[in-house]
Amino acid sequence: MILGTTPTERADSDILVSTVESAVHRLDPAGGRSERVHRDGPFDRDLWALLAGEVGIGALAVPEDRGGLGASLHDIAAVLTLLGAELSRVPYLSTVIATAVLADAPASTAADELLARIVAGELVVATVPPSSVVDHTFRAEGAGENVVVSGSASFVVDADIADVVLVFAPATDGSVGLYSVAAGGLTTARMTTTDGTRVLSTVTADRASAVLLNPRPSVRRLRDHALVALGCDSLGVASRTLDDAVAYAGSRVQFGRAVGGFQAVKHRLAEVAVAVELAKSSVAHAVWAVERGTDHELSEAAAITAIVCDDAASRATAENIQVHGGIGFTWEHTAHLYYRRALTNAVLWGSGAEHAQRLYELAAPAPARVGPGADSGAVPVPAAGLSS
């Protein structure tokens, strides 16, 4: 099933996207963006202060009964897609994921305080996704106010700039819980990766003090939610680079005619356009699955979205470089930055082959699983292919 939106909902979403887009263009206009990325790195602190503090995009995903705006996932997906299209160097992806994780936790002083500070734009929260049902990257010990966690994980989005890191960890009894750890109790190291527009870090905890926020987190559903959010980012990358390629093909004249008039170019861009339309449909379906679908429907939708959106982004960014010819390969142009973002998204939380395998397993009858964590539904997170 595909999520439908009314004309009023679409109009409201357009206003929201236009507001965010204006804020982005004010501090990070397209002109000179590549230079700023190389000069300032993968985090634009001023832009995030504007978006989180003044515009208030952090409050969108927080439920109204927890102090936020309680926006629909359709609106949140639209903002994620826009920020992907703009290659914005802000921790909104990690904020959306953390907010979903915190909203899944029962109301408590600790969880509600984190949500309130996210709403106010005062806090960056990163989340370490679970690596597998059998071999978690973190372990928890103790109880009450004496809980500590230990472990290490790499390729954690925005951990190096986060104030708090959320981790899933099994306790001594085998039950998997959600814990918050203050950044000051962790060792974080920013990684040198292919994508220069996103912060990826290695996080290490050595008996770091932690707070148990949720003794029974919906691990599988939260992980699928994160895949949908990442798919929105990839959709934005694919849509923008297709638009850029079409615009350039229509204006670049060679042999007395626009290069877009040549059959080979037209066919290649048409194939990209089909891939982008498929990505839009997959995201719309995934948004419906998050808000209204069963766990099984969401898992299927998340796997499809990961496959389709990654393919669209990879195709669109590669063709954008080719259509732009010589300038598409230069360091100063943004084409390679989009390509690098697409490469990273395609393997960040699972490769296309792994998502396809999971989709097959979801469709096929599976034998009953036994053992600790058998119902969590987490799948392995690969750590290969991101380093430059």
3-class DSSP state for residue 229?
A: helix
Strands 257-258 and 253-254: antiparallel
Distance between CA atoms of residues 163 and 182, nearest Å: 6
Question: Are the beta carbons of 89 and 34 closer than 8 angstroms?
Answer: no
Amino acid at 286: A
Q: Choose among 359, 318, 324, 358: nearest CA to 342.
A: 318
User: What are 161's two structure tokens?
Assistant: 């700039």
Fold category of 219-363 in CATH:
Butyryl-CoA Dehydrogenase, subunit A; domain 3 (1.20.140)
Fold category of 125-214 in CATH:
Butyryl-CoA Dehydrogenase, subunit A; domain 2 (2.40.110)
- pTM for this one? 0.90
Q: Where in the chain is the domain with CATH 2.40.110.10?
A: 125-214
Q: What share of the chain is helix, strand, coil (3-state, %, to 5)?
A: 55, 15, 30
3-class DSSP state for residue 386?
A: coil
Q: Where in the chain is the domain with CATH 1.20.140.10?
A: 219-363
**CA 368, 382, 355, 236: dihedral to nearest 10 degrees?**
140
Q: Choose among 13, 90, 374, 7: nearest CA to 219.
A: 374
pLDDT at res. 111: 96
User: What are 169's two structure tokens?
Assistant: 């960890």
Q: Where in the chain is the domain with CATH 1.10.540.10?
A: 7-119
3-class DSSP state for residue 11?
A: helix
Distance between CA atoms of residues 380 and 134, nearest Å: 10
Question: Are the beta carbons of 303 and 355 closer than 8 angstroms?
Answer: yes
pLDDT at res. 369: 46
The H-or-E segment that residue 298 falls in is: helix 295-323
- Cα separation of the two ends of the chain: 39
Question: Are the beta carbons of 342 and 276 closer than 8 angstroms?
Answer: no
List the chain pLDDT tens, one digit each, 388 residues: 444 566 666 777 889 999 999 999 999 999 899 999 999 999 999 999 999 999 999 999 999 999 999 999 999 999 999 999 999 999 999 999 999 999 999 999 999 999 999 999 999 999 998 754 445 689 999 988 899 999 999 999 999 999 999 999 999 888 899 999 999 999 999 999 999 999 999 999 999 999 999 999 999 999 999 999 999 999 999 999 999 999 999 888 777 787 777 888 899 999 999 999 999 999 999 999 999 999 999 999 999 999 999 999 999 999 999 999 989 888 889 999 999 999 999 999 999 999 999 999 999 865 544 444 444 444 444 433 333 3
CATH of 7-119, one of 1.10.540.10, 3.40.50.720, 1.10.3720.10, 2.60.40.10: 1.10.540.10
